[in-house]
């Protein structure tokens, strides 16, 4: 850039932006934000890159981001290659032994390693915490409910906080796949929204942000303009009962409801495909997407 190209007004505007962010950075410094990456986003290379840059930025200014990821779409593709039909019951995948093998390979293997490598390629530091390295999510089989048995689907009962928290001493962002291990070593497939909730609760996170491919909870799931910006717990329950909240949005909202009242202060569902939606969520008063409150 030559001296002639230097635009003082632009440079001042940039400096102003940094100063404006200072208050937010101070208030979140040292506090944990759990970021759940949904499978739809993992398929969008450009969106993913910008999210990971936001995460690296957060870590660089002293916030403590923790990433928990799913990978439903990638699992569906891998299952199709093995000739297995996906089977979802109330937003959760029925998981037999063959499905579990595929889920482990995709979630704890390919995606977890890929995300960690991408963070490092972008200049950040990250650590993949899976069965293959250090497992931090422990749990048990999800009990049968209303005669529905989901096979090897689990829920998290214990999170190894010390490993996750220890990574902040080496400036590494923990990247955690949505699987857990029973005390007997059995692996379970965990809905990623539920896994993120367990991590947020265990760490006493300041914020839990679900990054999805929709702009939030909508009254018409196919119409972005029907987004509901704030939703009380009672309203959210009613929308599930009425069938307005359906499919993959059910475990997400259920996770929000369970998280609130257990120490996590704010839960948001945000469209991760909007450039810098994660930073906007943190650095603006109203944020973007849907906030669910008590």
Ligand X SMILES: CC(=O)N[C@@H](CCC(=O)OP(=O)(O)O)C(=O)O
For the annotated binding site for substrate, the residues are 71-72, 93, 189
Which of ligand ADP, ligand X, none interacts with 217 (beta carbon under 5 to 8 A by kind)?
Answer: ligand ADP
Which residue, among 172, 187, 190, 137, has the nearest Cα to 66 in the 3D structure? 172
Whole-angstrom distance, CA of residue 3 vs CA of residue 117: 37
Piece of the chain touching ligand X by CB under 6 A; list 123-131, 157-165, 188-196, 275-283:
188-196
| Nearer Cβ to ligand ADP (112/168) | 112
> Binding ligand ADP by CB under 6 A: which of 135, 201, 212, 273?
212
Dihedral, 183, 189, 194, 198 alpha carbons, nearest 10: 20
Which of ligand X, ligand ADP, none interacts with 213 (beta carbon under 5 to 8 A by kind)?
Answer: ligand ADP
Q: Shortest gap between Cβ of 239 and ligand ADP (angstroms)? A: 7
Residue 33's DSSP bridge partners are: 65, 207
Query: Contact between 214 and ligand ADP (CB under 6 A)?
Result: yes
Query: Contact between 92 and ligand X (CB under 6 A)?
Result: yes
Proportion of the chain in helix, strand, coil states, percent, rounded to 5: 45, 25, 30
Q: Shortest gap between Cβ of 68 and ligand X (angstroms)? A: 9
CA angle 227, 229, 233 (to 5 degrees): 110
Tokens of 184: 């007997």
Which of ligand ADP, ligand X, none interacts with 282 (beta carbon under 5 to 8 A by kind)?
Answer: none
| Nearer Cβ to ligand X (95/168) | 95
> Binding ligand ADP by CB under 6 A: which of 47, 50, 72, 142?
72
CB atoms within 10 A of CB 6: 9
CA angle 267, 179, 96 (to 5 degrees): 125
**Spatial CB neighbours of 149, under 8 Å, sequence gap ≥ 6:** none
- 3-state secondary structure string, 37-71? ECHHHHCCHHHHHHHHHHHHHHHHCCCEEEEEECC
Q: Shortest gap between Cβ of 285 and ligand X (angstroms)? A: 28
Whole-angstrom distance, CA of residue 13 vs CA of residue 119: 28
- Annotated binding residues, written as ranges, equal 71-72, 93, 189
Q: Shortest gap between Cβ of 283 and ligand ADP (angstroms)? A: 22
> Binding ligand X by CB under 6 A: which of 32, 33, 39, 217?
39
* Residues 229 to 248 in contact with ligand X, rule: CB under 6 A: 248
Whole-angstrom distance, CA of residue 135 vs CA of residue 141: 17
* Residues 219 to 278 in contact with ligand ADP, rule: CB under 6 A: 221, 244-249
Give the binding-site size for ligand X (rule: CB under 6 A): 16
Which of ligand ADP, ligand X, none interacts with 221 (beta carbon under 5 to 8 A by kind)?
Answer: ligand ADP
Whole-angstrom distance, CA of residue 293 vs CA of residue 207: 12
Residues of this chain that bind ligand ADP (CB under 6 A): 38-40, 70, 72, 212-214, 217-218, 221, 244-249
Q: Which residues are near ligand X by CB under 6 A?
A: 38-39, 70-72, 75, 92-93, 103, 153, 178, 189-192, 248
């Amino acid at each position: 850039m030559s001296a002639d190209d230097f635009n003082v007004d632009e440079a001042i505007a940039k400096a102003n932006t940094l100063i404006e962010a200072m208050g937010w950075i101070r208030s979140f410094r040292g506090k944990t934000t759990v970021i759940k990456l949904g499978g739809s986003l993992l398929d969008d290379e450009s969106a993913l890159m910008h999210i990971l840059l936001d995460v690296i930025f957060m870590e660089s200014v002293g916030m403590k981001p923790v990433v928990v990821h799913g990978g439903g779409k990638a699992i569906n593709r891998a299952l199709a290659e093995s000739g297995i039909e996906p089977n979802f019951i109330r937003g959760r995948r029925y998981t037999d032994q063959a499905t579990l093998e595929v889920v482990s390979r995709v979630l704890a293997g390919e995606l977890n390693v890929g995300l960690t490598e991408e963070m490092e390629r972008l200049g950040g530091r990250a650590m993949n915490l899976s069965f293959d390295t250090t497992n931090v999510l422990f749990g048990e089989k999800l009990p049968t409910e209303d005669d529905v048995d989901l096979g090897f689907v689990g829920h998290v009962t214990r999170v190894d906080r010390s490993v996750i928290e220890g990574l902040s001493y080496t400036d590494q962002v923990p990247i955690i796949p949505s699987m857990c291990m029973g005390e007997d070593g059995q692996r379970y497939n965990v809905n990623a929204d539920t896994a993120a909730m367990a991590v947020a609760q265990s760490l006493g996170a300041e914020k839990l942000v679900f990054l999805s491919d929709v702009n939030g909870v909508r009254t018409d799931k196919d119409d972005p303009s029907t987004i509901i910006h704030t939703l009380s717990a009672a309203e959210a329950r009613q929308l599930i009962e009425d069938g307005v909240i359906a499919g993959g949005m059910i475990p997400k909202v259920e996770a929000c409801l369970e998280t609130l009242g257990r120490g996590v202060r704010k839960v948001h569902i945000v469209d991760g495909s909007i450039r810098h939606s994660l930073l906007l969520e943190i650095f603006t008063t109203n944020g973007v997407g849907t906030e669910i409150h008590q």
